[in-house]
Amino acid sequence: MKLKGFTLLELIITISVLGIILAMAAPSFNHLLASNTMQRTSTELRGLIVAAKSEAVMRNTDVYLHTVGLTSTKTLTDNWCLIATTDATITDCDHNNILYKVDGRQLTGLNIKRHESYAKIRIDKMNGHPDFGGSAAPIDWITFEKESGKALTMQMSWMGRLYECGEDGESYGIEV
């Protein structure tokens, strides 16, 4: 009489092999998730700048970029936002007059910081350029990382162009 099916030994071997394969794939999968978060954050920040510059010129009014909940020290937090608004001062992420917003609750698990001198940046209504107080040097506007030691810094030029700078050549697949 022929029996069909798996023996207990075959089942144990199969489960062991699958476990080994999954254990080898887990670090790669974590890096993939981190890479996607970093790319999305970079894209969101670029979109915020482009939209703020366009709105300033189109509305013929100064637009302000506010970093709410961020400090000049890298912190692991989801309670932050970057807001483009025509108001010179705001206090929280639920402000009424928001043109565009990047919300940290949608980009979770980031160690993030802002430039120490630029919690707020004014975008000029005439040319769409950010106001750095007369300085033409680019600033390290926002620095963020998902994995320790693999940070991206968004540098902003006096013309409002963003550049991504990775540490030690790590760029998460983003053109640096």
In the chain, what are the domain boundaries?
30-169
Residue 136: per-residue pLDDT? 81
Residue 169: per-residue pLDDT? 59
Sheet with 111-114, edge to edge strand ranges: 75-76, 111-114, 139-145, 152-156, 162-166
**Which residue type sits at 55?**
E
DSSP structure string for 109-125:
T-EEEE-TT-SEEEEPT
Residue 163: per-residue pLDDT? 86
Report the chain (176 residues): mean pLDDT per 10 consecutive residues.
78 90 78 86 92 94 94 89 93 89 90 90 93 84 84 88 75 56
In CATH, what number does 30-169 get?
3.55.40.10
Say how far apart CA 22 and CA 6 lie, in whole Å: 22
User: Which residues, at least 6 apart from 8, have a Cβ–Cβ distance to it below 8 Å?
Assistant: none
Mapped onto helix, strand or coil, the DSSP state of residue 171 is coil
Say how far apart CA 62 and CA 159 lie, in whole Å: 15
Residue 44: per-residue pLDDT? 93
Residue 125: per-residue pLDDT? 94
Say how far apart CA 99 and CA 51 lie, in whole Å: 9
Q: Name the pTM for this structure.
A: 0.79
User: Residue 53, Cβ neighbours under 10 Å: how many?
Assistant: 22
Residue 175: per-residue pLDDT? 52
Nearest to 172 by CA among 36, 29, 74, 81: 36
